[in-house]
Amino acid sequence: MSTARPTADAMLLAADHDAGAAAGRPAAQRQPVARPPRQSRTGLTSTGVRKAGSKSARSRSREFGLQGLYQHLVGRNSLADIDAFTRDLVGFGKCDSAHYDALLTGCVAENAQLDAWILPLLDRKMEEISPVERATMWIGAYEFHHCLDVPWRVVLNECIELAKEFGGTDGHKYVNAVLNKLAAQLRADEVANDRGNHRSRA
């Protein structure tokens, strides 16, 4: 008998269940994180989120990286277990697995440095940031620092898309504000030149 592969949403719900159990809350009180339905056509949803058919392999790798980092932050599962589970999710074969590997292992290994860059730009304690938004900002910070072949605006836009699809209602606005400031620090010359070019064309 074949066993159905878990979806990405199932992974997030499993992490929420683990977190609720760790906190001692009974199952009835544990609220699953709401996720938008998967999209089958290209374009945008009514909320501005890209539909599944519009996503590149690298965009998908960021999504799966986010799934894994969420499990790390909420479920506190081992990296090996997270990776094995994530690779068995529906659609993983369509992602850029090398970029996924870099994001998951890199962000976990460098989480202290990533937080050190992000924390001064927050208006609240890190503990008050949702795991989805924190993981999204980790991805942005990691790519700003390590993935110099990816333009800073692409990194920013990709992280905004992640926060729109998986985060709270206005979480993407917060991620946008923080990563805009961080880009100016980690990609100072690129950001300055880019903004200068935009002003000259205005």
For 17-30, give the DSSP string. Answer: HHHHHHTT--GGGP
> What pLDDT band is residue 194 in, cutting at 50, 70 and 90?
confident
Entry field: residues in the chain: 202
Average pLDDT over residues 101-125: 97
Q: What is the pLDDT of residue 55?
A: 85
Q: Which of 118, 121, 120 shows the shortest CA–CA distance to 138? A: 118
Percent of the chain with pLDDT over 70: 71
* pLDDT value of position 92: 94
When pLDDT is averaged across residues 8-31 and rounded to a whole number, the result is 45
Domain boundaries, the chain: 1-20+54-109, 110-202
Lowest-pLDDT choice from 6-10, 76-80, 183-187: 6-10
Please write the tens of the pLDDT for every residue from 24-63. 444 444 444 434 444 444 444 444 444 555 689 999 999 9
What span, in angstroms and rounded, lies between the C-alpha atoms of 132 and 93?
23
Q: Which structure tokens are listed for 68?
A: 């894994």
Q: What is the pLDDT of residues 121-143, one digit of tens each?
A: 999 999 999 999 999 999 999 99
The predicted pLDDT at position 195 comes to 80
CA dist., res. 68 & res. 51, Å (int) = 21
**Residue 200 pLDDT level (bands cut at 50, 70, 90):** low
Does domain 110-202 fall into CATH 1.10.940.10? Answer: yes
